[in-house]
Structure 1
Amino acid sequence: MGFGFFMESISVSNVGLRLRQYWVLTKPRVSQLAVFCAVIGMFLATPGVPPWGTVVAATVGIWLLAAAAFAINCLIEEQIDARMARTAHRPSARGDIGALQIIGMSGVVGGLGMAILYTLVNPLTMWLTFATFVGYAVIYTIILKPRTPQNIVIGGLSGAMPPALGWAAVADSVPAEAWLLVMIIFVWTPPHFWALALYRTRDYEKAGLPMLPITHGAQVTRLHILLYSVALLATTVLPYVIRMSGMFYLVCAVALGAVFIGYAWKLYRHYSDELSRKLFRYSILYLALLFAALLLDHWLPAWT
């Protein structure tokens, strides 16, 4: 009995380890931020509270397709990831999970996500989410990332789509307001990733990827970060300009943007890896707070 219990414990432990490895392939931190932006899009798509059944189904479906896309990304970049300290721990890079297993997992998870979106939400959301999957896993990962230093800029559209997906889930349409949210994330993406690339330049060099700090140098990259930070502030003011949001959001957007530009200016004038890390970490917090401000403003008619 003791031996059987011991073997059963080993089996349970192995299952738990394998599940954790599959979980890592979904890039949970990135997917959580994407799903959060999609949920904000759902709530902004209607004056009141959207149907909870739709919100839950769309959230699950979008997350499943995002998880499938990230798993395929890990498979395609397994050799690149193995050469980078930041990603060498991934089970795909370590060879802990094989290609067929990743493809199978992505197929099951992605297929389930598509089925949920098609049957419980609407076909438009399913097709837009699937197009985002293809854009990220194929166009960005295979075509753009290894070929051009503008990979983050051009390929950023797929990563910027979550608010439009959420909006489509509730409204069954994607109006100009939804695309404005996409534009905000599209402009946010380059300074966010280039801040990471600056303090991970050696990693990207070893991986053979043509990131901007490698092809054009750190000084040019820092200037691009500063310029995009200014453009980001201007872009985030547009929801107020078109009366999509009110004064509460405007104050938050300007304050958050001013801090972003402050980091970018310091980085441009006096570079350090630590400052670059701070900008990268702040950029994640910035996006979450900005979209939270949009939602709060949406529910504060006294400010509009």
Structure 2
Amino acid sequence: MNDKVIGGFDQARIQAKFCIHHWRDFFELTKPKVVALILLTAVVGMLVASEQLPSVSVLLLSLIGIGLLSGSAAAINHVVDAKVDAIMARTHCRPIVRGRVSHMQALAFAALIGVIGFVVLYAGINPLTAYLTLASLVGYAVVYTLFLKRATPQNIVIGGLAGAMPPLLGWTSVTNNIAPGALLLVLIIFTWTPPHFWALAIHRKNDYAKANIPMLPVTHGIEFTKTMVLLYTLLLTAVCILPWLAGTFSYFYLAVVTGLNIRFIQYAYKLKYHATDDTAFAMFKFSIWHLLWVFVAMLVDHFIF
């Protein structure tokens, strides 16, 4: 085999590796772990909304549409926050920061999957779900990321509504209407968001200060933030009981969420009064599992109890 052929094979291998790497970079732009949690809560909304299981086509089209629009919002977030991401230790290796994906490529990708997601929901599910999901994209990628995040320490509280929408999106994809039961599920995520993000903000306070992002620990101090985390955790405990009081779920759900919330309160109490260096980040990680298991408990309760 001559050198020209060998060189051609080497070049092909290099291009193949580049394409695989590039594909993974675009996939990373969608924040797949976040989207996975969004889709789980959307599925719960879909399944709880009706006594009958939705058709496979409704389930798949809803998840594809919501997933693509959520990924689009995440990609826009990468673009808008590129300078901030470059400063912060947690995000300095993201594709745009490292130059593996350009701003224009990321925006084109976000536009493409966003349009596809909207069309899938509008044509395959219903216009209400399509417009609500689009509103969530605008709320997160534009209102929160571009304005609120840089304008007020209450950015997480105000902007949290966009991130709390997935259960409602799942609900409307099946019923084509907005019901009180769906809003209670939204309220759970809305109330969960501040202690979840403020725990991370405490852990990463110096990064946020360096990036000039007015997160609560930066503007009001860590001790005040710890107090707010504890208060919101107590509020979350009460909010999680509301679907049981409304008769949506049984005592099984009540028992599970009570246990999860007691553990959440223990983390918040330790963070406030007996914190160690890793308490805030440990609470942040637990909060993700907390929300996951709350919604899993809803599914189990709905189908078994």
Identity of aligned residues (%): 44
| Equivalent residue letter for 2:81 | E
Q: CA RMSD in A?
A: 0.8
| Equivalent residue letter for 1:182 | V
- For residues 169-202 of structure 1, the C-alpha deviation after alignment (integer angstroms, 9 at most, x for no partner) is 1111120000100000000000000000011011
Aligned 1:1-304 pairs, distance under 5 A: 1-301=5-305
Query: In structure 2, what is the Cα distance between the partners aligned to 1:270 and 1:27?
Result: 33
Query: In structure 2, what is the Cα distance between the partners aligned to 1:273 and 1:70?
Result: 30
| Equivalent residue letter for 2:168 | A
How far does residue 273 in structure 1 lie from its aligned partner after superposition?
A: 2.9
How far does residue 3 in structure 1 lie from its aligned partner after superposition?
A: 2.3
Query: Structure 1 residues 80-89 or 26-35, which shifts more?
Result: 26-35
* 8 Å CA contact 1:198, 1:273 repeated in 2: no
Query: In structure 2, what is the Cα distance between the partners aligned to 1:273 and 1:122?
Result: 48
Query: In structure 2, what is the Cα distance between the partners aligned to 1:74 and 1:284?
Result: 21
Query: In structure 1, what is the Cα distance between the partners aligned to 2:61 and 2:107?
Result: 24
Query: In structure 2, what is the Cα distance between the partners aligned to 1:32 and 1:223?
Result: 30
Moved over 3 A (4+): none
* 8 Å CA contact 1:81, 1:90 repeated in 2: yes
How far does residue 167 in structure 1 lie from its aligned partner after superposition?
A: 0.5
Query: In structure 1, what is the Cα distance between the partners aligned to 2:270 and 2:143?
Result: 34
Describe the SS at the equivalent of 1:173.
coil
How far does residue 48 in structure 1 lie from its aligned partner after superposition?
A: 2.2
| Equivalent residue letter for 2:234 | V
TM-score, normalised to structure 1's length?
0.97
How far does residue 28 in structure 1 lie from its aligned partner after superposition?
A: 1.2
Query: In structure 2, what is the Cα distance between the partners aligned to 1:37 and 1:239?
Result: 15
How far does residue 27 in structure 1 lie from its aligned partner after superposition?
A: 1.1
How far does residue 96 in structure 1 lie from its aligned partner after superposition?
A: 2.3
Query: In structure 1, what is the Cα distance between the partners aligned to 2:72 and 2:228?
Result: 32
Query: In structure 1, what is the Cα distance between the partners aligned to 2:99 and 2:276?
Result: 34
Query: In structure 2, what is the Cα distance between the partners aligned to 1:294 and 1:50?
Result: 17
Q: Unpaired segments of 5 or more residues in structure 2?
A: none
Query: In structure 2, what is the Cα distance between the partners aligned to 1:254 and 1:78?
Result: 39
How far does residue 2 in structure 1 lie from its aligned partner after superposition?
A: 2.7
TM-score, normalised to structure 2's length?
0.97
